[in-house]
Amino acid sequence: MSPFNQQKFINSLSNIQGTRVSKIFDCLTTNHLRIFSTLPSTNQTLWQLIDSGVSPGTIVIASQQTAGRGQWGRNWISNIGGLYMSVAFAQGWGYTRASNISISQTSQLTLSTVWGIASSLQHYGVPVKIKWPNDLILENRKLGGILIETRVKKEKVTWAVIGIGINWTNSVPETGINLQSYYGNQSQPEISSLEMLAAIVFHGLEFGIKQLLDSGIENILPAYNKLLINIGQQVLVEDRLGKVVGVTNSGELKVKINPGSPTLKAQSQILPSEIYLKPGRISLGYSQL
């Protein structure tokens, strides 16, 4: 496999620039890019670079990860051929309101980022959906996901490392899919290279963050819920059957309990007919997608 071409990535970003207004394209150069053949983790390496003084917007890309991380400490299989990228976000990164991201809004950063990336991929003909809270789904299988890690000072997010993994030509498990297998025998797919995919993903990430800071999560959530593949999915919560109806502003999964579900009592109080679940409280799996 050919090494990642930095200039091809920059050129792809320039070609995308006209589709949406960006505040950081003008300052993004090859100096912001750190390309590696193999790393334990792009997130881990980027944190090390931040500690050494790199600027916001720095991007780490690896052809392979040996210890990639997913949500809840799970391993992310990172075989050669995928896109493994981490981006450094900090206060003041091209925005006047960036310092307003508080520790309580980190889940909103996740929602807006995965929505922005999904929207950007859809713009290029890939009908991606979202599996709550942060997985990218294509044809009911996992195409990729994001992992955001933050540093906080005085209740404000000072730095965030946004890690993205997208399946391009790499081998994937049964529940996964890569873009090359999706394209099949298409002679001219809209996304023609790993560098173009990286540019589209970066552009979507930046767009999602910009929308969060400019408009707030309230204006993103309807579009996020529209892409949410879990809407209508039946789930079991505290021995009560319900269905997913959306996501709240704080990133919780909104589950409406079925009218016929048994009513449980705790300390003489009837449990509510609508339950909000924080990430990690329930596994939605892939079998029902």
Asked if residue 1 is part of any domain, the answer here is no
CATH classification of the domain holding 14: 3.30.930.10
The pLDDT of residue 99 is: 47
Same domain, 271 and 200: no
The pLDDT of residue 18 is: 56
Q: What is the 3-state secondary structure (H, E, C) of the chain?
A: CCCCCHHHHHHHHHHHHHHCCCCCHHHCCHHHEEEEEEECCHHHHHHHHHHCCCCCCCEEEEEEECCCECHHHCECCCCCCCEEEEEEEECCCCCCCHHHCEHHHHHHHHHHHHHHHHHHHHHCCCCCEEECCCEEEECCEEEEEEEEEEEEECCEEEEEEEEEEECCCCCCCCCECCHHHHHCCCCCCCCCCHHHHHHHHHHHHHHHHHHHHHHCHHHCHHHHHHHECCCCCEEEECCEEEEEEEECCCCCEEEEECCCCCCCEECCEECCCEEEECCCCCCCCCCCC
pTM assigned to the model: 0.88
Q: Which residue has the higher pLDDT, 192 or 186?
A: 192
Same domain, 176 and 243: no
The pLDDT of residue 273 is: 83
- pLDDT over 90 at 53, yes or no: yes
Asked if residue 129 is part of any domain, the answer here is yes
The pLDDT of residue 239 is: 79
Same domain, 203 and 100: yes
Same domain, 193 and 251: no
- pLDDT over 60 at 221, yes or no: yes
| CB crowding 140-165: b at 16 or more within 10 Å, else e | ebbbbbbbbbbeeeeebbebbbbbbb
Asked if residue 25 is part of any domain, the answer here is yes
Stretch 29-45: mean pLDDT: 88
Same domain, 239 and 192: no
The pLDDT of residue 98 is: 46
- pLDDT over 90 at 108, yes or no: yes
Using a pLDDT cut of 90, give the percent of the chain over it: 55
Stretch 108-128: mean pLDDT: 96
Asked if residue 288 is part of any domain, the answer here is no
Same domain, 167 and 245: no
The pLDDT of residue 172 is: 93
Average pLDDT of every residue of the chain: 85
Contact 115, 207 (CB under 8 A): no
The pLDDT of residue 70 is: 55
Q: How confident is the model at residue 287 (pLDDT cuts 50, 70, 90)?
A: low
Least confident among 56-70, 96-110, 127-141, 143-157: 96-110
Same domain, 134 and 194: yes
- pLDDT over 60 at 286, yes or no: yes
Stretch 125-154: mean pLDDT: 94
pLDDT digits (tens, 9 = 90+) for 65-103: 887 665 545 565 678 999 999 999 887 665 544 446 888
Same domain, 215 and 271: no
Calpha distance 197→4 (Å, rounded) = 11
- What is the rounded radius of gyration, in angstroms, for the C-alpha atoms of the chain? 19
Same domain, 204 and 252: no
Asked if residue 289 is part of any domain, the answer here is no
209, 227, 245 - which closes a domain: 227
Count how many domains the chain has: 2
In the three-class reduction of DSSP (H, G, I as helix; E, B as strand; rest coil), residue 224 is classed as helix
Same domain, 63 and 206: yes
Same domain, 196 and 273: no
Asked if residue 244 is part of any domain, the answer here is yes
Asked if residue 245 is part of any domain, the answer here is yes
Q: How confident is the model at residue 137 (pLDDT cuts 50, 70, 90)?
A: very high
Least confident among 101-110, 112-121, 169-178, 215-224: 101-110
pLDDT digits (tens, 9 = 90+) for 258-275: 876 655 454 445 667 889
227, 247, 262 - which closes a domain: 227
The pLDDT of residue 25 is: 45
The pLDDT of residue 170 is: 94
Same domain, 157 and 220: yes
Domain that holds residue 157: 6-227
227, 246, 263 - which closes a domain: 227
Asked if residue 141 is part of any domain, the answer here is yes
